[in-house]
Amino acid sequence: MPAHWFSRLCLACGMLFAPTILMSSSADPDLMPLPMSLQRETGVFRLTPGFRVGFATGQDDRLTRAVSRTLRAWEERSGLEFSRNSSGDYLPAANVASAGLVIECAKDAAEFPQLGEDESYTLIVTPEQVRLRAATGRGVLHGLATLQQWLQGDASGWHLPAVTIEDRPRFAWRGLMIDVCRHWQPLPVIKRNLDAMALVKLNVLHIHLTEDQGFRIESKTFPRLHEQGSDGNYFTQDEMRELIAYAADRGIRVVPEFDMPGHATSWLVGYPELGSAPGPYVIERKWGIFNPVLDPTNEETYRLLEGFLGEMAALFPDPYLHIGGDENNGVHWSANAKIQAFIREHQLKDNAGLHAWFNTRVNAILVRHGKRLVGWDEILHPDLPAGSVVHSWRGPEGIAEATARGFATILSNGYYIDLMHPTADHYLNDPIPPGSRLTPAQQSLVLGGEATMWSEWVSPETIDSRIWPRTAAIAERLWSDASARDVPEMYRRLQSVSQRLEEAGLGHMSYLDPALRRLAGVPVSPAELDDLRAFVDLVEPVKVYQRGQQQPAATQFTPLTGVVDCARADSEPARRFKDAVDALLKNPYSPEAVAVVEGQLASWMELARRLQQGVVSRSPRLQEVGPLLDAMREAGGIGQDALGVLAGGQPPSADWAAGRLAELKRIAQPHAAVELPFMPSIRRLIEAAAAPKL
């Protein structure tokens, strides 16, 4: 893929345009991602039951369906009803002049979304009319997504504030990867996430279809792949076509991943002869890096790949096909004398060389079927075929190295939403960060990024709450101008978009109460449910790969119904507490600042006491939160002590702080794979109390 092609792409994406956001009122609807340019005008366009949509140019079935979805969402939100004909279709405007919304679409888009298409749109809302112009249907879809967020209600009714928005994406590849292998995620889960993606203008669903723990796509040529590798949980090809069409309707490409040569246990259950060790193989049930790996020295392996990838190339219309390539530990290759002999014979140097040789063979298959190869970091080897795309997961160096060698790249390092980092971390993680040392040519090879939802610890019930709303902030990073880095403002807008995402069908908020009722296991009063909600709002799942360390015996069958599954990343109360401590430490003698911190500590201690005396004392499963509640109360007491010292002057003794910090460290240990994210703020209170006074 020649570099100049990407330069054109970036021009099309508007990377050279500076953003202009001229808000005339803070009461305007919140948008996420922020548009490239927004100019508020005077007045509002009022939504009435007579509202109709007209196309000036470019109407097609896909856009008609998109308009119908927008109108239906507005009906369900507003309670208004727009006119329909007897077939149930919304009546179009009689003519452009009388239309409430006029759409101008300059040219037909390809049937399936393509990387680098013109996705720009212009939206002009006046009190008289709404006009949406785009070069392609894809831009129209984005404009409708903006409109969906821009509709606002107050006691006087529903309206769209007058505005002129000129918008286009910064990056062309804005993805969400969903791993449907480790825990199976059926069609409805994917569909509702596609609806959510469209709302925040993500345009790539990267679907991770094969893993040690499951082979999730029907193969008609090699049926033992899904029959023996999936426990019966896989997408039929009909279902996948349905999903691809559903995604295309929303302007979203579907890029499939078939992970090879490692992460391939499930392939080998039905075809053990293609493994690098004798087998037999059974579907892997645990988490980690495993030894089973395809045998790249066996010509039968390529016969299977030729057949299977050919089948998949026909099924998936997108030109990009992800072959994984990560975490091949080489154990079975090293242990196999025939394979080692092959390496020597072909002068491949080592296992890495064999892996690159394998990639070259696979690439040839892909090229024959009209596909471009995408793979994780590890595919980057001197022999990587030109035109491949490197998907960087291990660190920003991956981007630098790949682009230096002329490969296009996608960033996922920093977007691993399964690791439970706070939204702000992902938001500030830029594929081309401020002050990047990438040359312009290298920058032009950075296609975008993908949030990655690995599914060791998610069920269909919890997955929405792990992906959202954080992924909306990643979507903004990939769509909006690089200068959009105001974190508090992002968090404020995230609350609005979260509500819109729920309306689009996600269960990321509503899953919680049923989960808490089940967790309690005994009848809970409404007040107790409020307390449980307050508790899980205050805690967070442990981060990075700590959950696996906390729950080492976990398997694919472990119920994901514990307190950790009710907790979500990025506790808002803990963030507010940090802000309160920041304010206090800036101004330690302010009684108001002390009172805020004091009040939060007291309320948590009281919450912990109520829970322990109430529902926790009755519930079998809530026994696991006992140590966390103890820690909340003790930490609260330590914080109160520190406040006393800050107010009163001197610590009681020289080693007071050391003792408190040691105590804090002890009680800050996670339990039940859950941690207390306000602990660092309490540590700062102690340190401030112990610091020499001015």
Catalytic entry in 75, 306, 327, 461:
327
CA angle 674, 676, 680 (to 5 degrees): 140
Report the candidate in 69, 72, 131 with the shortest Cα–Cα distance to residue 105. Answer: 131
- CA torsion through residues 525, 531, 533, 535, sign: negative
Q: Which amino acid is at 180?
A: V
Among 559, 591, 649, 692, binds its own copies (CB under 8 A): 559
The count of other CB atoms within 10 Å of the CB of residue 296 is 25
Among 499, 546, 550, 640, binds its own copies (CB under 8 A): 499
Q: Which residues, other chains included, contact 253 with Cβ-Cβ below 8 Å and sequence gap of 6+?
A: 112, 113, 114, 115, 203, 204, 205, 247, 318, 320
Question: Which range binds its own copies by CB under 8 A, 117-125, 132-140, 312-320, 621-629?
Answer: 621-629
Helix (H, G, I), strand (E, B) or coil at 125: strand
In the chain, what is the straight-line distance between the N-terminal and C-terminal CA atoms, in Å? 62
Q: Does position 42 bind its own copies by CB under 8 A?
A: no
Among 28, 242, 503, 606, binds its own copies (CB under 8 A): 503
Q: State the Cα–Cα distance between residues 49 and 75, nearest whole angstrom.
A: 9
Q: Does position 617 bind its own copies by CB under 8 A?
A: yes
Both tokens of residue 636? 């609260």
DSSP E strands, 309-454: 320-322, 372-376, 389-392, 408-411, 446-453
Q: Does position 282 bind its own copies by CB under 8 A?
A: yes
Both tokens of residue 555? 């398997």
Closest to its own copies by CB, 502 or 687: 502
What is the nearest approach in angstroms of its own copies to the Cβ of residue 433? Answer: 32
Question: Which range binds its own copies by CB under 8 A, 79-87, 253-261, 287-295, 346-354?
Answer: 79-87
What is the nearest approach in angstroms of its own copies to the Cβ of residue 406? Answer: 45
Report the candidate in 55, 82, 50 with the shortest Cα–Cα distance to residue 69. Answer: 82
Answer whether the bond into residue 469 is a cis peptide, omega within 30°. Answer: yes
What is the nearest approach in angstroms of its own copies to the Cβ of residue 157? Answer: 5
- Total of residues contacting its own copies (CB under 8 A): 51
The pairing of beta strand 121-125 with beta strand 157-167: antiparallel
What is the nearest approach in angstroms of its own copies to the Cβ of residue 365? Answer: 32
Among 129, 360, 561, 640, binds its own copies (CB under 8 A): 561
Closest to its own copies by CB, 54 or 229: 229
- Placement of tokens 């449910």 in the chain: 529
What is the nearest approach in angstroms of its own copies to the Cβ of residue 601? Answer: 20
Site string for its own copies, 147-186 (x = CB under 8 A): ------xxxxxx----------------------------
CB 621 within 8 A of CB 519: yes
Question: Which range binds its own copies by CB under 8 A, 8-16, 190-198, 425-433, 491-499?
Answer: 491-499
Q: Does position 669 bind its own copies by CB under 8 A?
A: no
Q: Does position 231 bind its own copies by CB under 8 A?
A: yes
The count of other CB atoms within 10 Å of the CB of residue 621 is 16
Helices 679-690 & 572-586 angle (0-180, nearest 10): 10
Both tokens of residue 587? 């101004």
What is the nearest approach in angstroms of its own copies to the Cβ of residue 160? Answer: 13
Q: Residue count of the chain, please give it.
A: 694
Q: Does position 25 bind its own copies by CB under 8 A?
A: no
Among 52, 609, 610, 621, binds its own copies (CB under 8 A): 621
Closest to its own copies by CB, 282 or 595: 282
What is the nearest approach in angstroms of its own copies to the Cβ of residue 165? Answer: 22
Q: State the Cα–Cα distance between residues 83 and 74, nearest whole angstrom.
A: 13
Q: Is 327 assigned a catalytic role?
A: yes
Report the candidate in 623, 629, 611 with the shortest Cα–Cα distance to residue 562. Answer: 623
What is the nearest approach in angstroms of its own copies to the Cβ of residue 231? Answer: 6
Closest to its own copies by CB, 88 or 435: 88
Residues at the interface with its own copies (CB under 8 A) = 75-79, 81, 84, 86-88, 153-158, 188, 231, 282-283, 285, 495-496, 499, 502-503, 509-511, 513-514, 517-518, 521-523, 530, 555-559, 561-562, 617-621, 623-624
Catalytic residues: 327
